[in-house]
Amino acid sequence: MKILLTVHQFFPDYGAGTEVLTLSVARELTARGHQVHVLTGHPSDRETKEEDRFDEYEYEGIHVYRFHHAYTPMSGQTSMVELSYDNRLAAKYFEQVLAIFKPEVVHFFHLNRLGTGLIELAVRARIPAFMTPTDFWAICPTGQLVLCNGRLCQGPSAYAGNCVKHFAETTQKGLTGSLAKWLPSSLAALLARLTQAELMPLYPHRVEVQALSSRLQINIARLNQLNGIVAPNRFMTEKLVQHGISPQLITQSAFGINVDRNVATAPRQSCRQPFRIGYIGTLAPHKGCHILIDAFKALPFGRAILKIYGNTEDFPEYSNKLQQLASTQQNAIEFCGTFHNSKIGEVLADLDVLVVPSLWYENTPLVVYSAQAEYCPVIASDFPGISEVIRDEVNGLLFEAGNRKALAKQLLRLIDEPGLTGQLSAHAQQPKSTALYVDEILRIWGKRE
């Protein structure tokens, strides 16, 4: 069977959770004799000519079509917001890929930089189309459901007034940006409603307000044209239904991972001295690594070390902040860079606990499953997407997101309480394999075609 997978960014330049999941599924399907190609977006230069925004390459035997996206007018579109979720140039390229490759199934893992317009093209071509949402991007322009002030967001309000306010706060400088912080969402919603009704005179960023206020309605209408949606947990299912997705389209299936049984085959009995704490993930503000560093610094000196794995070049300003926070404990906090995903078992075997201090709802990070596979206890923010896997006091410990003192308290418990690490390790919940995950996806494809 010819299968086309899509993702917003891909290897070798990007290797976060969504990319790892897409690659793992592609490999498993290929191993079963299917012909798998990947279509990906890729951040690029604004100056690139439209005809030069497409290329192809091979990655580990998988053929990849790549669209070089940029937030600059292209193909007649001037709204930067619209270009992220309804990109006509990307859609044109997708249509060409469909004509050349002729896939029998399309499965979308992420559509940022590509746009939900691809769904309509697949439907029009009568190709069964499915989606696995790996974050909340279909609902939220940032994909994270987090406001500028760090508070959690429930999703777009009427006419996306809160999204308009968020856009103004994050993109406008000087007085406009400052005033946006005090702008009530209700007033932003009124502006969006009048703009949609064409009752407002021309004003700066009018096209962006229109794009934001239309975004949710357009995306949901397109997602409802899919043959099926594979939601990774209950919270994602609830959010999609809450914002208008037909429940009949959704099948719930937790992510699968590749498990290296040569590394850890039994629960851990005790922790080492000094206690080894680890962070593995993107070094971005919403991932909360700064919360972990602050909590670590509150621990008794010399009792623990902290190993931080992540690319410091993705968000350099934030990474510099982290390094400054850690500078007072240079011998105890180590920035270890990145590693090939095949080495994750070895990395986790070197840790006594993995900390996931996220400040957004999360969508069950793959690293949580990997830690459980290696019997590594997890301390994590108490969010639904995580707590469905990590049960407090059973196979890990939870704490209030953003609460440094609460995290430090949980870390100190593992250091001071004999046997707690072994107890949590013994109750590790072994995750689903990629092979089983692909079995479930194939069944879903078979039922909905």
Backbone dihedral region for residue 362 (phi beyond 0: left; psi -120 to 50: alpha; all else: beta): left
Pairwise CA distance, residues 54 & 68, whole Å: 6
**In contact, 109 and 18? CB cutoff 8 Å:** yes
pLDDT for the residue 202: 78
Pairwise CA distance, residues 396 & 34, whole Å: 38
DSSP annotation of 126 reads: T
pLDDT exceeds cutoff 60 at 261: no
The tens digit of pLDDT for each residue in 164-201 reads: 888 888 887 776 667 767 778 888 888 888 888 888 88
pLDDT exceeds cutoff 50 at 217: yes
Pairwise CA distance, residues 238 & 443, whole Å: 23
Please give the residue that has the higher pLDDT: either 115 or 147. Answer: 115
- Cα→Cα distances 353→277, 311, 340, 407, 429, Å: 5, 20, 20, 12, 15
Pairwise CA distance, residues 143 & 126, whole Å: 29
- SS3 (DSSP) at 276: strand
Confirm whether 2-134+227-256+434-448 and 275-426 share one CATH topology: yes
pTM for this structure?
Answer: 0.91
Residue 92 token pair: 């044109």
Q: Predicted confidence band at 149 (pLDDT cuts at 50, 70, 90)?
A: confident
Residue 318 token pair: 């934030």
The tens digit of pLDDT for each residue in 297-311 reads: 999 999 999 999 999
Domains in the chain: boundaries: 2-134+227-256+434-448, 158-211, 275-426
Query: What percent of the chain has a predicted confidence (pLDDT) above 90?
Result: 77
The tens digit of pLDDT for each residue in 430-445 reads: 899 999 999 999 999 9
pLDDT for the residue 263: 52
**In contact, 169 and 181? CB cutoff 8 Å:** yes
Backbone φ, ψ for residue 369 (5° rounding): -65, -40
- Cα→Cα distances 319→9, 11, 184, 285, 356, Å: 21, 22, 32, 9, 17
Pairwise CA distance, residues 234 & 255, whole Å: 13
- The gap between the terminal CA atoms of the chain, to the nearest Å, is 13
pLDDT exceeds cutoff 90 at 6: yes
Identify the CATH class of 2-134+227-256+434-448.
alpha beta
**Topology (CATH) of 275-426:** Rossmann fold (3.40.50)
The tens digit of pLDDT for each residue in 408-428 reads: 999 999 999 988 999 999 999
Give the chain's mean pLDDT.
92
pLDDT for the residue 37: 98
pLDDT for the residue 174: 72
pLDDT for the residue 190: 87
pLDDT for the residue 265: 61
pLDDT exceeds cutoff 50 at 449: no
The tens digit of pLDDT for each residue in 84-115 reads: 999 999 999 999 999 999 999 999 999 999 99
Q: Predicted confidence band at 158 (pLDDT cuts at 50, 70, 90)?
A: confident
pLDDT exceeds cutoff 70 at 260: no
The tens digit of pLDDT for each residue in 349-386 reads: 999 999 999 999 988 889 999 999 999 999 999 999 89
